[in-house]
Structure 1
């Protein structure tokens, strides 16, 4: 009986020892996560080359000169990326415009906001069937029943309707909030166009079966057609240009200010304006950039 009690006691002691080791390891792991090296920046990018190229060619080298190590992490979707920024798993994320972020924040109470807007790939009208060099040439070739592919997510849907109205292809009803306009706000359709609402990723693949497609710069670049648009947005609303997104609690961190300094630097501008890159010809400049460097597009 005595031996049995000793055995039970030994087992209990061993179990307690294992539990203590486990708790100690968990505590150590959490401590390491909180004490992340302040000179390491983890930046989320999407699957498109558009802004990862900008980071690699125009931003990361300048951050490294300031002593930062930059880790680029590909994130499959915007929801996951925004959640990661909110949870401090990412320091920054690039790949969405402010109009989408504002819509997202009405559905999700995350503590995130734009840090800085950057030059953004052109949004354009593309076609595999119509060859036109201007909006007027495009209008001359349109006929009743022609199909236009439009992104079906709310922010890019409204963006496309504004774009089509600016081209004179539709008219949005008076009094409508254009920033949230939908298909129900189309008041006039003088060309008798048929609108097909699709996920943005499907519009490029559908060009052979539709007349026109409204396609974002990242989608067009991935498909190798960034330079094949019929016409692009001439003066897009600043809300449709891409931002780096940050957790609000990091807005005043030293690294955040250093990051803004890099984007606003002459070295960054020199890469953007270098004709050997796509940035110079196929990216819209934000207002602050145009004012600072006296440039356009």
Structure 2
């Protein structure tokens, strides 16, 4: 059954609170499933199932699809859209309220995340996956285009920020597809893009993720200030101590945090731990 027919037959009413914009183009759906590089043995986690159009495309390539959907009013729509699909299961719960360890019990081994993420909660979902998932090997998500640019930004650009670094310290991320707003129903006010994040185990020799978060948060607490000034303010350091930390990691003392690479942030966070400035 096609999307509009299922929505009409179920008398479904869109809930603005959930940012519901469903992908309706079958060619696009197949392209998204394709860029996820799924094997027929792969299990998939989908977050924000919506009307099940992507679920259906994924089920043709994967061994099994577990999808989370917060809106129980979509149950009759999904019953029609997923009729005859025997390798997909929709869990009507709020993914953000779930313990990731409990979610991962669904999967036999490593899994792939593929999702058309609700725009209003994209960043929290990505951060939850990047920072807490243990068995996820790849994340492929449709997001608002401006968010995609932030996820994959280069240092010293306006899009570069805390979420860029959180992703890059864990994964290799790239924008793999631009998507025009006309591919959705209803049509949103923004264009989208598909971002692919391949998880890389031990990509950087990071001692403490908390320390890494702390120094990144410090660096971007006042983007226009130098890193030394931000470190003095956040960590209550003297200028001499702050400059010594940067000198030891090969960072110019007059640099702003937005100019630092992930590698330099890792080196600095590790030194902060070694000197017991942060945990």
Q: TM-score, normalised by structure 1?
A: 0.27
- For the pair shown, which has the larger CA radius of gyration, 1 or 2? 1
Greater RCO, CA 8 A, separation 6+: 1
Q: TM-score, normalised by structure 2?
A: 0.28
